[in-house]
Amino acid sequence: MTALTLHGVLGDFPRLRHALTPTPIHYLRSLSKWLGVNVYCKRDDLTGFGFGGNKIRKLEFLVHDALQRGCRTLVTCGSNQSNWCRMTAAVGAANGLAVHLVLGGGRPERATGNLVLNAMLGATCHHLDTHEDGELEAAAAALAEELEADGLRPYRMVMGGSTGLGALGYVDAMQEIMLQEQELGIGFDAILHATGSGGTQAGLIAGKALGGWPGRIIGVTVSRSAEAQEAKVRGVLESMAALLNTDFSAAAVVACDAYFGEGYRKNTPAALAAAETFARLEGLFLDQVYTGKAAAGLIDLARRREFGADETVLFLHTGGEAQLFE
């Protein structure tokens, strides 16, 4: 199978069309010279809709499903500065759906970053004084039950939209990358990206398997150990396998866990330095708790010669710059 025939796989799954895709790929000339490795960037921060970022690719499939089911309300959860929650609020607003967000971290004294955008989009925010994913998911599930009892027809989405259906957005992105390789006359040896809820990585891995792409997909974990992240990604792959009637059990899941520090939503000195490096060498802004950690991983792996001098690496920028204004 090739990128062209991947289109046929996705054709069975209708979706909304909000993202401005395909997103561009460009060469990071100064960074490449500094690292001694050819590095390109896939600009999923430029998906355009709702302040951009990778989450819109998942939401196009998920919210289409919600509308087909006759739902009137979207319910999900994340941190106060969750890009996923901000994008859910944007898609809900654009499709006439009410949005309820269960947000961890307590109610801040003043709104900043994504919280400002959530308010502009009309989302209802429910603040919990916890950072535990399980507690947030349980609270969102309970809220969905309350809304159902009130006749508001909720559509419940897990954190990050990382289900088999949502992850199809990154099968589509893998198709884009393969087509762009042909257009640019480039063969990428590796794709490196931040991995958290697992849907982006699972979608890329599934796309690689279905399309026969030969390179490596490297997820830099932002919140958990490599073992725990691999299990999370494999869970999404199993869900995708059921949707697509295929088997991804033999697919490699590579998770690098040396860069997440004390956990999710917490920056690290290496992430701060990497974000500054990308800004000063390329004029490219990264957030400091997600893409910044992936960039720290890229820089360290390149310095340790984990990539050959003749290899070409694609850095997937998944967005999140609103966190800079927290």
Q: Known catalytic residues?
A: 82
E strand intervals along 93-248: 98-104, 124-128, 154-156, 190-195, 216-221
DSSP class of residue 257 equals: -
Please state, in angstroms and as integers, the Cα–Cα distance from residue 16 to each residue in 204, 216, 316, following that order.
20, 30, 23
- In whole angstroms, give the CA distance from residue 298 to residue 218: 10
- In whole angstroms, give the CA distance from residue 286 to residue 292: 6
Q: H or E element: which one contains 27?
A: strand 25-27
> Longest C-alpha distance within the chain, in Å?
60
H helix intervals, 98-185: 113-120, 133-149, 164-184
- In whole angstroms, give the CA distance from residue 39 to residue 73: 41
Helix axis angle for 199-211 and 3-10, nearest 10°, is 120
What value does the CA radius of gyration of the chain take, rounded to a whole number of Å?
19
